[in-house]
Amino acid sequence: MGPALERIVTPAGVSVSYRVYGEGPPLVLVHGAFSDHDTNWEFVAPRLAASFTVYAIARRGRGATDATTGHGIADEAADVLAVLEAIGAPAFLLGHSYGALVALEAARAAPAAVRKLVLYEPAWPRVVDAPALATLEGFAARGDWDGLAAYFFSERLGVPDSDLRAVRDSPLWLPIVDDAEASLGDLRGLSRYRFDPVRHAGLDLPVLLQIGSESPRSLYVTDALSAALPDARIAVLAGQAHEGMTTAPDLYAQQVLNFLDDGCGTASANVPGAGARSRRVA
């Protein structure tokens, strides 16, 4: 838990909340599914806040942000744009998983509002194809949020059974299950999203595309974006998969800060040396 949530109302009338902490240039964080504005960044928040004023957005259904139905990636990108406008100066923008697609769409819509963009494993929409969505809806109809989360991690993200057992036995699992109902809204939106890398070919700003060395690359649009974007680089998180900010926070934070600091004068020297946690989530 961090500072109190701040709130704005977007032009569409949606109340969006976010935490603000740290000091320095603005850095906006957009969390993924099965997490929220606190849990997604729990282990890296102190490292990022040493160099930036961090704005950790609570996406729809989290924090004090409105819980809507039928929303999609474009709607949540508009929420991010409203936060960027409220900040009032170009900001660094970082998104994870579903949140990476939201951040990408926000940057494409308003590139002048974004200094640099970091995208950690934005998912291909085919991760939630029609049969998978039907299975997820079945879990939801039974109120089996634990089963829904386990199915998605195992069958759609390819998390090995041993790793999934480890996280289910850890304190990390309860927040994942608690977020499953809101995450189903994300997955519905992802299933409707039509990703075309060509749409982003005009996004002429520096982009860091992060991917874990243990992640199945076919699940993510990283390589397709790398081929389309004019100023993008891929950075591999060695020994990590989809949750590097949790499983190796020092390594993750250092990689992000090295990229953001390049020519921007931020204080990446404040970050501790790399020291990876051993548990892998996804």
Whether the Cβ atoms of residue 3 and residue 19 lie closer than 8 Å to each other = yes
Q: Which one-letter DSSP state was computed for residue 198?
A: G
Q: 149 pLDDT band (50/70/90 cuts)?
A: very high
Q: Which residues contact 196 (CB under 8 A, 6 or more apart)?
A: none
Q: 1 pLDDT band (50/70/90 cuts)?
A: low
Q: What are phi and psi of 22, to 5 degrees?
A: 90, -175
Give the C-alpha separation, 43 to 228, whole Å. 32
Q: Each residue of 176-233: pLDDT tens digit?
A: 999 999 999 999 999 999 999 999 999 999 999 999 999 999 999 999 999 999 999 9
* CATH code, 6-126+185-270: 3.40.50.1820
Q: Which one-letter DSSP state was computed for residue 220?
A: B
| CA geometry: angle 50, 81, 227, nearest 5 deg | 85
Q: Which one-letter DSSP state was computed for residue 153?
A: I
Give the C-alpha separation, 254 to 258, whole Å. 6
